[in-house]
Amino acid sequence: MGRFPIIAACVAFAAAPALGSTLNCQVTKKAACGPDGCVSAPPAGAYNRIDLARGVVERCDTKGCDAHQVSAARSGIYVNLSFGRGAAFIRLEEPTMAYMEVITLGLSTIVSHGSCR
């Protein structure tokens, strides 16, 4: 019984893609937030491609992709990426490969959650 958490952690780590490779991140939940609160928004085919080796994030949807240079910083099990002059950031969690993206638009935000492979 004491060995199961260690085995589960090793299996999860082995299954996670290397952060040196290009990650494809699918948005599964999205919310638009403003001064009066947040409302659910459809992901509408949104996804991100993250290439840490090149320092590039491509934000994509049904209309195509926009590439952004990012700065990355590691903090424990998280990799934090910022771009758009600080108006946007992505936090990627290892080893689960869950991710969160926050985009600011004026005084409003769009918050997306998903996972990467």
- pLDDT tens for each residue of 8-58: 333 333 334 456 689 999 999 999 999 999 999 988 888 999 998 999 999
Topology adopted by domain 4-116: Lipocalin (2.40.128)
Among 44, 64, 22, 51, smallest CA distance to 110 is for 44
Contact predicate 40/113, CB 8 Å: no
pLDDT of residue 6: 34
Domain ranges of the chain: 4-116
pLDDT of residue 39: 97
- pLDDT tens for each residue of 64-98: 999 999 999 999 999 999 998 889 999 999 989 99
